[in-house]
Amino acid sequence: MSDNILVLGVGNVLLADEGAGVRAVEQLQHRYAFPRQVELIDGGTMGLDLLGYLDGKTHLFIVDAICSTQPPGSVVIEKLLDPPAYFRQKISPHQIGLSELLAVAAMQDCLPPSITLFGIVPRDLSTGIEMSPEVNVAVGQVVLAVVKELGLMGVEVGAASR
């Protein structure tokens, strides 16, 4: 079976750097052409609405702003070898966001076996649609990193036709 990859950008584009994940997906869609096995989704700040998009996926790339002690604009790429570790935090059972989405997917046996986080450390989370300069640069780096990762998996990514 060939790989089926979901590139899921999440975040709120009205809160400056919080929307970095969504901006990265927009840039990917704008600059490249992907084969059918790659699906790109702007997930915004949705949770359970996204469950259906995980069906049949072998790989999930999550692009999101992350909390980190590293300086703003840093890019953190890591395979989530034990995704449930993310769910172990004591969270309210009443609100559903990304970590709950993945937990529910695990319960429903539709969690993609391979999950990679492309994290961007934000600087500015205030209201506004412009990202800070360093996060802008980081988004560009993540776009290239996603394309490179797909290339390593043997997925051919072309330039967008204009």
Partner 1 sequence: MAKRIVVDPITRIEGHLRIDCEIDNGRVTKAWSSGQMWRGIELILQGRDPRDAWVFTQRICGVCTTVHAVASVRAVENALNLEVPLNAQYIRNMIISAHGIFDHIVHFYHLSALDWVDIVSALKGSPKGASALGQQLSPWPRNGEQEIKAVQEKLKGFVGSGQLGVFAGGYWGHPAMKLSPEVNLLAATHYFQALEYQRQINKVVAILGSKTPHIQNLAVGGVANPINPDSQSTLTIERLYHIKTLIDEIGDFIRNVYMVDVAAIGAFYSDWTQYGAGVTNYLSVPDLPLDTKGTAFALPGGYIGDGNVGSFKAITSFNDEGFKQGVKEGVKHSWYKGDWDRHPWEEETVPQHTEFQDNGKYSWVKSPTFNGKPAQVGPLANVLCMYAAGHGPTKLYTDGLLQKVSALAKTKVGISALHSTIGRHAARAVRCAVLHDSLLGQWQALMDNIGKGDYATFNQPVFPKGEQRGVGFHEAPRGVLSHWVVIQDGKIKNYQCVVPSTWNAGPRNSKDTPGPYEASLVGNPVADPEKPLEVLRTVHSFDPCLACAIHLLDPKSREIVTVRTTV
- Match 């560009």 to its residue by tokens: 140
Please pick, from the candidates 108, 133, 144, 148, the single residue that binds partner 1 as defined by CB under 8 A.
108
For 126, residues 6+ apart whose C-beta sits below 8 A from its C-beta are 15, 16
Which range of residues in 30-38, 97-105, 134-142, 154-162 is near partner 1 by CB under 8 A?
Answer: 97-105
Q: Which of 71, 81, 92, 162: binder of partner 1 (CB under 8 A)?
A: 92
Cβ closer to partner 1: 93 or 158? 93
* Amino acid, res. 61: F
- Our CB check for partner 1 shows the closer of 2 and 126 to be 126
Task: Return the amino acid letter for 133.
Answer: P
The alpha carbon torsion through 4, 29, 136, 48 (nearest 10 deg) reads -50
Q: Are 153 and 59 in contact (CB under 8 A)?
A: yes
Q: What residues form DSSP beta bridges with 15?
A: 128
Q: Which of residues 116-145 bind partner 1 (CB under 8 A)?
A: 117, 119, 122, 125, 127-129
Q: Site for partner 1 (CB under 8 A): which residue of 48, 79, 148, 160?
A: 48
CB 6, CB 60: distance < 8 Å: yes
Which residues of this protein are in contact with partner 1, per CB under 8 A? 10-15, 18, 41-53, 62, 64-68, 84-100, 103-104, 106-108, 117, 119, 122, 125, 127-129
